Amino acid sequence: MINSGIALTALPPLSLYIHFPWCERKCPYCDFNSHQVKDGGFNESRYIDALITDLQTELPNVWGRRVHTIFIGGGTPSLLSPKGLDDLLSHVRALIPIEPHAEITLEANPGSVESGKFAEFASIGINRVSLGIQSFNSDHLKVLGRIHNEHDARRAIEIAHDHFERINIDLMYALPKQTLREAQADLKEAVSFDVSHLSLYHLTLEPNTYFARHPPLLPHEDESDAMFESALQTLAANGYARYEVSAYSKPKQECKHNLNYWEFGDYIGIGAGAHGKISYPDRVTRQIRERHPETYMNKMTEQGHAVIENRVLTQDDLPFEFMLGALRLIDGVPTSMFSERTSLGLNTISKPITEALRKGLLDEDPTRLKASPLGMRYLNDLQELFLK
């Protein structure tokens, strides 16, 4: 037993994240671990073998636990062949117990959507698809470096509707030279498809991206604020409830996998650059794997693992780690969840709670840890109080 001072009485729900690291083209705003497919393509069978081995090495850490959700993200995992994905999921099911009606999400690029492929994905167990639409304006899509145009975007959603009940659309606003009217038109079109879930992101210039090195002309802050306020009205009027900073859903259609992240649940992360979080009765750990696909596959072949960091969270780490996700949720979390997931008493965060209440950043309901409307607007400031 590790002397971490942590003693969990119950372990949180467990999810599985599978990272696919290739894209047809690297977008200039993207800071995810994705790599453009070269002329020779990618070695699908070798990568799937590495993923299976990766999961096998994790089994002793989660023995006897069930997986509640699976998320296959990237990159563009819809580039996988149906046979390859079927092989992967068959091995996953053989290795670890999966809840009978587990949510299984696949991310897809509208430029790589094919009706036959989606039909096969659905037949092998994918029950939720997330489409990286970003915009319905071809000019904006071109600036964003997307491989699809507005017609591809519409067609992808229509094809997804034929095969999946649960569909997420990723949409961005405050794009280079975007006007309020254009942002409103994008959202109006998005809600017209009546999908179950919508993720709305403000374009940000992330470090180590092309846009960070060559900044485009973005709308003024007042303009982007107007886009956001207009979006809130449109989404609410069309039956979408905001349940997280950037996530909106129809009733009972929240993304269960992401909710598990925000509620400090556990997740196995396999694949190049994947992160994981695993709790034990006496400790909570975080893992990171090799980022580059080739290095990742080589390490899996030669060493049987590709973990480059396996860190035990200290008692000082846990409050901020927990609150970082919990405060992103519009309704927050029950106060009791803090102790359940960290084994720490609420008194360990009494000072930042008091300070947050004094500043009006935290809701006054004593049964929930929840940002106030002001706290949601200044979320970084609220979260940083718990970093102390």
Residue recorded with tokens 């979006």: 231
- Mean pLDDT for 47-74 is 97
Alpha carbon distances (Å) from 3 to 7, 250, 317: 10, 45, 15
Is 274 inside a domain boundary?
no
Query: Residue 3: pLDDT above 70?
Result: no
Is 1 inside a domain boundary?
no
Do 57 and 172 belong to one domain? Answer: yes
Is 265 inside a domain boundary?
no
pLDDT of residue 5: 76
Say how many domains are in the chain: 2
Contacts of 226 by beta carbon, 8 Å cutoff, 6+ apart: 180
Is 284 inside a domain boundary?
no
- Residue ending a domain, among 260, 277, 299, is 260
Q: Take residue 339 and report the two structure tokens written for it.
A: 């102790």
Do 323 and 220 belong to one domain? Answer: no
Range of the domain at 349: 315-388
Q: Is residue 310 very low, low, confident or very high in pLDDT (cuts 50, 70, 90)? A: very high
Is 305 inside a domain boundary?
no
Task: Evaluate if pTM is beyond 0.75.
Answer: yes
Query: Residue 1: pLDDT above 50?
Result: no
Do 254 and 327 belong to one domain? Answer: no
- Residue ending a domain, among 214, 241, 260, is 260
Query: Residue 333: pLDDT above 70?
Result: yes
Do 164 and 60 belong to one domain? Answer: yes
What residue spans of the chain are helical by DSSP H?
44-58, 82-95, 115-123, 138-143, 150-163, 180-192, 210-213, 221-237, 256-262, 293-302, 317-326, 335-342, 350-358, 373-377, 379-385
Do 348 and 256 belong to one domain? Answer: no
Do 337 and 201 belong to one domain? Answer: no
- Mean pLDDT for 94-112 is 94
- Mean pLDDT for 261-285 is 98
Q: Is residue 129 very low, low, confident or very high in pLDDT (cuts 50, 70, 90)? A: very high
Do 139 and 73 belong to one domain? Answer: yes
pLDDT of residue 38: 84
Q: Is residue 115 very low, low, confident or very high in pLDDT (cuts 50, 70, 90)? A: confident
Between CA 197 and CA 48, with CA 107 as vertex, the angle to 5 degrees is 150
Q: Take residue 240 and report the two structure tokens written for it.
A: 């979408």
Query: Residue 123: pLDDT above 80?
Result: yes
Query: Residue 150: pLDDT above 60?
Result: yes
Query: Residue 2: pLDDT above 70?
Result: no
pLDDT of residue 111: 84
Do 253 and 325 belong to one domain? Answer: no
Is 341 inside a domain boundary?
yes
Rounded distance between C-alpha atoms, residue 380 and residue 178, angstroms: 26
CATH of the domain at 366: 1.10.10.920
Do 237 and 340 belong to one domain? Answer: no
Do 84 and 202 belong to one domain? Answer: yes
Is 238 inside a domain boundary?
yes
Do 228 and 335 belong to one domain? Answer: no
- Residue ending a domain, among 260, 281, 307, is 260
CATH of the domain at 104: 3.20.20.70
Do 248 and 323 belong to one domain? Answer: no
Query: Pairing between strand 14-20 and 35-36?
Result: unpaired
Is 136 inside a domain boundary?
yes
Alpha carbon distances (Å) from 164 to 73, 124, 156, 198, 266: 17, 12, 12, 15, 27
Query: Residue 4: pLDDT above 90?
Result: no
